[in-house]
Structures are given as structure tokens and as C-alpha cells.
Amino acid sequence: MSVGIDIEELKSQFLDLEFDTKEFELKPENILTVARASGETRPEFTDQSHPDFQAPPAFLCSLASGRHLPLDFPSMGGIPMDGGKAVTKHAPVRPNQTLIGKTHLHDIYDKKGRSGRMILIVARMEIYDTDDNHLATADSRMVIREKPAT
């Protein structure tokens, strides 16, 4: 990874520009599978007959856009790692509906750690229903660590 990467320039070029849109079909059996696999026990997430049956946050974390970065985002080299995910639900996400995920870069920043410089990139997918109601926001962090000196 080049030490010459200018974080402020990357921010001015890439933040808040939507670079991917993807549709998802929400099937009840998929919701149940993810709920069980994640250890969920609340009936609104594990019982299809529950009057408030909906997707748990872990299911929303499993949705992924078609791209991780914009097409013209510069290569940084280094060692990329998953930096974690976070979901904020704004409304219940129900089965048998089409969801639309719209992804943009929300933040880019760097840190210096014991192992050297790391660049952190936060890709945010905002999840909507077909009526354009904002149902959830899912952030995925990518950490790119400089290659250690050989």
C-alpha cells in the first residue's frame, strides 16, 4: 500500500456516491435458516405464524451488494480484511417482499497501529422496500493493512 494515499482526496471523490443497487427476495425459509444459525430465540424471528414475523438483524447482515467498492476506486495493495458489520433497523423487514439495497461509501479513514498503517473503508447499504420506505441500514467495514516489510 502506498504511503502517498490521500484519504481526504478519496473522500472527496467517493463518499456518498451510490455505486451499486441490488434486489433481494425475502423468503420465509431463508429468514428461519439464518435465525436458527445465529442462535435467535425470539418468536417474531423464529415462528412464521407469529403475527410480527420478520427478518432478524443477522439476516440483514447477510445481504451483500454486488460490489464492495466503486469500479474506479484505486487499488491500494496491502492485505484486506473484514472489519465487521453493523445493522440498524428502521422498520420491520417482512418475508415475501422485494428489498432494494443501495450501496455507497459512507466513510474512509486511516489509523496507525503496531503493525503499521491501516485504511478503513465503510460501505453502507441502505435497504428499502419497493415503496421506497427505508427499512434498514447495513454497514460493512473493510480494513486494508500495509504489507509488512520483508
pLDDT of residue 113: 77
pLDDT in tens, 63-122: 988 888 999 999 888 888 999 999 999 999 999 999 999 999 999 999 987 778 899 999
pLDDT of residue 3: 52
In a domain, 58, yes or no: no
pLDDT exceeds 80 at position 146: no
In a domain, 114, yes or no: yes
pLDDT exceeds 80 at position 147: no
Mean pLDDT of 128-135: 97
In a domain, 51, yes or no: no
Give percent of the chain with pLDDT exceeding 70. 95
* Count of other CB atoms within 10 angstroms of residue 52: 11
In a domain, 55, yes or no: no
Domain that holds residue 92: 7-26+67-145
User: Do 87 and 137 touch, CB atoms closer than 8 A?
Assistant: yes
Give percent of the chain with pLDDT exceeding 90. 77
Give helix then strand counts, H and E, for the chain: 4, 5
In a domain, 16, yes or no: yes
Instruction: Give the CATH number of the domain where residue 89 resides.
Output: 3.10.129.10
Count of the separate structural domains present in the chain: 1
pLDDT of residue 66: 83
What is d(CA 125, CA 104) in angstroms, rounded to the nearest whole number? 7
**DSSP-assigned states of every residue in 58-123:** HHHHH---S-SS-TTPPP--SEEEEEEEEEEESS---SS-EEEEEEEEEEEEEEEETTEEEEEEEE
pLDDT of residue 1: 46
